[in-house]
Amino acid sequence: MMGSENDQESKEKMKSLFLREESDPFTRSDQSNSNYRSAMSTLSDSRHPSIVVTPANSDPLFAPQSRSKPNGGSNRDSSSSSYLEPPSYADVIFSPFDDNSEINGSDDGGGSSRHSQSSDSLSRSPSSLTSDYIKITVSSPQKEQESTNSMIPGGNTYVTYQITTRTNLSEYNGSEFSVRRRFRDVVTLADRLAESYRGFCIPPRPDKSVVESQVMQKQEFVEQRRVALEKYLRRLGSHPVIRKSDELKVFLQAQGKLPLATSTDVASRMLDGAVKLPRQLFGDASSSSVEVVQPARGGGRDFLRLFKELRQSVSNDWGGVKPAVVEEDKEFLEKKEKMYDLEQQIINASQQAESLVKAQQDMGETMGELGLAFIKLTKFENEEAVFNSQRVRANDMKNLATSAVKASRFYRELNSQTVKHLDTLHDYLGLMMAVQGAFADRSSALLTVQTLLSEISSLEGRAEKLEAASAKVFGGDKSRIKKIEELKETIKVTKDSKNVAIREYEQIKENNWCEVERLDRERRADFLNMMKGFVVSQVGYAEKIANVWTKVAEETSQYNRESS
């Protein structure tokens, strides 16, 4: 009678959606969207959202003049009859799982950023005013084998992913191309970028997830990684400077083996692993603020200097407290402090957003189950009816049940929207890590400078002592003089290094400043878009749900017992 099979199906779907959500609510929407994504990808290079159901002028956001209606216009009587107020957000919103987040580039100006906000999963604000774009997709994971001779039959297998890029940036040769890369290549890319773009807020790459790769099902893990890689590459693509970098270009375009120097620096590899270790041990797989001043990110640096710097910053611990760098720039310290606070609040907000999503999900689920229980009751009463009063009751129950099921569906749709919007918070956690990285670059560059300065001063001290000692020897001390010569040579070289280090430090400071400015601007816009998107979808679905229940209230109005 009620199509209870469909409801069972949707109930199953509900359950499976919920189960996946338990691991990470923010990848969930991507997973369930992937079918729609491939369908959408052909439409995606338009700058206009392909999902808005009604003409633009019914959306008060597009047409400011119609906005006055919701507040002024219709006189609402406080009783039950009409809760619809034109323009109704219920009309603006939209089919479920609309995903228009393919475009990484900038839309023109502020106007289209509003276009994209209601549907964009990464509500990115325009990063430039041109119509450049770069769209990156990661797909088709495949198992491959190492071609090196191996005693072990079957050899070493690894997974490669197809990385497809569509772009109109002039730095790239061509507008559409595809390569296959493995995760190790991504690590290489990340390391090379970290070296070349010190001081920049570079989005953090996906974790190596050693523990997870053992524990999870292979398929699930590969899928999770695919999603993470895609997110990472898209973030790189949306960075105005990095999207044009040689490293990224080569990664996205060069066929065959990735022509970037691999990370042979064992020390930094070790450090990378070691820093990640506490997080793995304490089960914090999500980003957290582990503040460690790592000496010289990236490889290819002087091994010896590395350890000297380690010694210098000896007060580090894994809990991440203050490095031994003497930072005197008050403005910088304040900014750092602010960034730390901001990060804490974003973490907190992101957690509460997760709880909110779960609560919405649960509400929808229980509402649906209630509806199903009443559908069963309806069927039962109708089958067993002896009296007319039973049939009347069965009918009343049916109205309630169908509305409950409808409302349940709306809650779930609302929730997938909410996830998309509040995902912005989660995204910014990653970006806050990038800021940390940028600040760490600055600190480590300063550390280098200070190390060199102290080295110079100790070398000069030794030279002085030798000169004084040699002067006491009449006629000159050949061996000592030779030593002094060598020392003076070393001092000169070290001073050159120091000058280079200072220049680099200044450059990094400059990079820091620009990046932080840009980030602040973008974050402001992104957060506002997020709020708007969140609020609009809440309004739209609340109205839809209100309609559903108003109908039932009308259908049961004969039972209204309220006096007056």
Partner 1 sequence: MESTEQPRSISGSMQSPRSPSLQPYLSVSVTDPVKLGNGVQAYISYRVITKTNLPEYQGPEKIVIRRYSDFVWLRDRLFEKYKGIFIPPLPEKSAVEKFRFSAEFIEMRRAALDIFVNRIALHPELQHSEDLRTFLQADEETMDRFRFQETGIFKKPADLMQMFRDVQSKVSDAVLGKEKPVEETTAAYEKLKHYIFELENHLAEAQKHAYRLVKRHRELGQSLLDFGKAVKLLGACEGEPTGKAFSDLGTKSELLSIKLQKEAQQVLMNFEEPLKDYVRYVQSIKATIAERGTAFKQHCELAETTKLKEINLDKLMLTRSDKVGEAEIEYREIKAESEEATRRFERIVTRMEEEIVRFQEQKTEEMGVAFHQFAKGQARLACSIADAWKSLLPKLEASSAV
Q: Is 472 helix (H, G, I), strand (E, B) or coil?
A: helix
Q: Which 302-361 residues touch partner 1, going by CB under 8 A?
A: 338, 341-342, 345-346, 348-349, 351-353, 355-356, 358-360
Least distance in angstroms from the C-beta of 428 to partner 1: 10
Q: Which 357-396 residues touch partner 1, going by CB under 8 A?
A: 358-360, 362-363, 366-367, 369-370, 373-374, 376-377, 380, 384, 386-387, 389-390, 392-393, 396
The residue range among 209-217, 238-246, 473-481, 526-534 that interacts with partner 1, by the rule CB under 8 A, is: 526-534
The residue range among 18-26, 41-49, 66-74, 188-196 that interacts with partner 1, by the rule CB under 8 A, is: 66-74
Q: Is 513 in the site for partner 1 (CB under 8 A)?
A: no
Report the residue from 33, 403, 416, 444 that binds partner 1 according to the rule CB under 8 A: 403
Q: Which is nearer to partner 1, 93 or 236 (CB)?
A: 93
Q: Which is nearer to partner 1, 296 or 552 (CB)?
A: 552
Report the residue from 50, 80, 150, 507 that binds partner 1 according to the rule CB under 8 A: 80
Report the residue from 70, 141, 240, 320 that binds partner 1 according to the rule CB under 8 A: 70
DSSP 57-116: GGSTTT-GGGGHHHHTSSPPPSSSS----SSPHHHH---TT---TT--SPPSHHHHHHHH
Q: Is 470 in the site for partner 1 (CB under 8 A)?
A: no
Report the residue from 177, 221, 318, 527 that binds partner 1 according to the rule CB under 8 A: 527
Q: Which is nearer to partner 1, 328 or 384 (CB)?
A: 384
Q: Is 493 in the site for partner 1 (CB under 8 A)?
A: no
Structure token digits, residue 176: 């559409």
Q: Is 45 in the site for partner 1 (CB under 8 A)?
A: no
Contacts 24+ apart (CB under 8 A), 450-456: 450/312, 450/325, 450/326, 451/305, 451/308, 451/309, 451/312, 452/494, 452/497, 452/498, 452/501, 453/498, 454/312, 455/308, 455/494, 456/491, 456/494, 456/495, 456/498
Q: Which is nearer to partner 1, 239 or 523 (CB)?
A: 523
Least distance in angstroms from the C-beta of 453 to partner 1: 36
Q: Is 2 in the site for partner 1 (CB under 8 A)?
A: no
Beta strand 134-145 with 157-167: parallel, antiparallel or unpaired? Answer: antiparallel
CA-to-CA dists, residue 454 to 7, 449, 450, 459, 495, angstroms: 74, 9, 6, 8, 11
CA-to-CA dists, residue 481 to 64, 444, 470, angstroms: 84, 36, 7
203 DSSP 8-state letter: P
Report the residue from 71, 217, 264, 563 that binds partner 1 according to the rule CB under 8 A: 71
Instruction: Give the sign of the dihedral formed by CA 451, CA 457, CA 463, CA 469.
Output: negative
Q: Is 553 in the site for partner 1 (CB under 8 A)?
A: yes
Least distance in angstroms from the C-beta of 110 to partner 1: 7
Burial category of 126 from C-beta neighbours within 10 Å (exposed 0-12, middle 13-18, buried 19 and up): buried
Least distance in angstroms from the C-beta of 355 to partner 1: 4
Q: Is 508 in the site for partner 1 (CB under 8 A)?
A: no
Structure token digits, residue 393: 């009751």
Least distance in angstroms from the C-beta of 37 to partner 1: 27
Least distance in angstroms from the C-beta of 518 to partner 1: 15
Q: Which is nearer to partner 1, 275 or 349 (CB)?
A: 349
Report the residue from 2, 51, 61, 491 that binds partner 1 according to the rule CB under 8 A: 61
Q: Which is nearer to partner 1, 263 or 361 (CB)?
A: 361
Q: Which is nearer to partner 1, 103 or 375 (CB)?
A: 375
Q: Is 59 in the site for partner 1 (CB under 8 A)?
A: no
The 216-245 contact track toward partner 1, x by CB under 8 A, reads ------------------------------
User: Which amino acid is it at 524?
Assistant: R
User: Which amino acid is it at 320?
Assistant: G
Q: Locate tokens 């773009």: which residue?
A: 197
Q: Locate tokens 């996205």: which residue?
A: 252
Size of the site for partner 1 (CB under 8 A): 78
Q: Is 110 in the site for partner 1 (CB under 8 A)?
A: yes
HSE-CB for 105 with a 13 A CA cutoff: 20
Q: Is 92 in the site for partner 1 (CB under 8 A)?
A: no
Least distance in angstroms from the C-beta of 541 to partner 1: 9
CA neighbor of 127 nearest in space, from 227, 231, 236, 250: 236
Between helices 109-117 and 478-555, what is the axis angle to 10°?
60
Least distance in angstroms from the C-beta of 169 to partner 1: 28
Q: Which is nearer to partner 1, 217 or 557 (CB)?
A: 557
Residues in the chain: 564
Report the residue from 187, 241, 487, 528 that binds partner 1 according to the rule CB under 8 A: 528
Report the residue from 169, 222, 459, 531 that binds partner 1 according to the rule CB under 8 A: 531
Residue 555 to residue 541: CA distance in whole angstroms: 21
Q: Is 407 in the site for partner 1 (CB under 8 A)?
A: yes
Residue 94 to residue 115: CA distance in whole angstroms: 13
User: Which amino acid is it at 405?
Assistant: V
Least distance in angstroms from the C-beta of 380 to partner 1: 6
Q: Is 484 in the site for partner 1 (CB under 8 A)?
A: no
Q: Is 489 helix (H, G, I), strand (E, B) or coil?
A: helix
Least distance in angstroms from the C-beta of 53 to partner 1: 18
Q: Which is nearer to partner 1, 90 or 252 (CB)?
A: 90
Q: Which 282-301 residues touch partner 1, going by CB under 8 A?
A: none
CA neighbor of 297 nearest in space, from 416, 377, 199: 199
Question: In the β-sheet with 134-145, what is the strand arrangement from edge to edge?
Answer: 134-145, 157-167, 176-182
Using the CB atoms, write b or e for 28-46: b if 16+ within 10 Å: bbbbbbeeebeebeeebee
The residue range among 220-228, 314-322, 437-445, 531-539 that interacts with partner 1, by the rule CB under 8 A, is: 531-539
Using the CB atoms, write b or e for 197-211: b if 16+ within 10 Å: bbbbbbbbbbbbbee
